Structure 1
Amino acid sequence: MTSYSSATARAEMSELRRLKSLLPPELQSWVMVEGSTEVNPPLIRSEELGRDEIEIQVDLAKWENLAIDQRNLLFWHEVARIQSDTIPREGWEMAALAIGLGGAVGELWVQDGLLLLLALGLCGISGYRLWQKNNGEKRIKEAIEADEKAITLATRFGYTLPNAYKSLGSAFKTLIEQTPNRRQRKQYETRLQALRQSAAKMKAKTQKAKAL
């Protein structure tokens, strides 16, 4: 049992080192790659640790069920999100919303109309920002854009365009099969469809260039 645990730990450390090597040189000094320690975590996600440090967290138990090429493209998707500055950040919105609501209740009590309007305005602004952050269409658009950039990153690391598209598409198909959550599965399906459209456009563009 101890031998099995040690072998598993070594394999996990080896995979984390391998993923670290897939970071573009300009990110290696401030992007960390670690195994997730949460209960039932997402497959892969990024978290801001500080102003100049980001950690990519991987659920290694689920991760090992994917082929190497699938892992690579999903990892580069996360890298692309970091490069595009679209990872979730701890913002001021929740604090502002709480302050605004508290202020509104307080001003109702003391009947100060101007301060009540200011408190309600703060609630409105922070609420709108929270809605923007969690807007489903915006998030899927950002994910599709990161998929495109992941393809480009893959070519930097030696993949041909067809192989990069094929590997990411294969990853989506596997995740669709393995994901019980309907909403998450739908997101993978949407991204797969967008990827197919992008691959078709790229193929047509390549064929047109060859014909010239």
Structure 2
Amino acid sequence: MGEAATGGRRQRTDKQRNRTHILEVAEEFFAEQGITGSMDAIAKRAGVGPGTLYRHFPNREALLAALLQARDEELESRRDAIQRDVTDSRDALAQWLQALSEWVTAFDGMPEPLRAALTEDTSPLAITCQGFITTTEEFLRPAQRDGVANSWVRGRDLFLSTLATAWARGAAMADESSPDALVSLMRTGWETSTTEAVPGGDQDPSYP
């Protein structure tokens, strides 16, 4: 193998190593500071120059999209498991929305860039969001056919409601009972059942 080929392979290996290291540092940083933390601070903590960071990830959305890739795969696995194992369309939709809610709260501040991605076709997060909206529709339609979800509800509405609920959980006025209450309110919106679910009380264990 020629010297040039060896050098090229070494450069590619170094580039991949730098990228992996930046992602590891960024995940730790975002977990501590939220996703609004400084990109330059991430570069400094990773021991690389800002130019190196931006060559790998030209903006915050690109970095966040790369960090979410592993979580996307995990969410897709949960989707497949629900589709395979859950036969009741109401429970399937509820479990999918719970899985989606957990994905949305991977980092503090996540709802805002995901919301923005829905109106910005150039955002690297846009394809991810649109894909999960499509999946939500796939769970919603059977529930609507079975009469357990309101016919006027759209998958896009449920996705946005999940983002809104995730944002509200982190609001200054939220307390420890807020997450269950918000999920219950959201479910009351799409579900046709008149059965009341009391946050924190006795309920179906599959209830998100």
User: What TM-score do the two structures reach when normalised by structure 2?
Assistant: 0.32
- RCO comparison, higher one (Cα < 8 Å, 6+): 2
User: What TM-score do the two structures reach when normalised by structure 1?
Assistant: 0.32
Q: Give the greater-gyration-radius structure (CA).
A: 1
Which of the pair is proportionally richer in strand?
Answer: 1
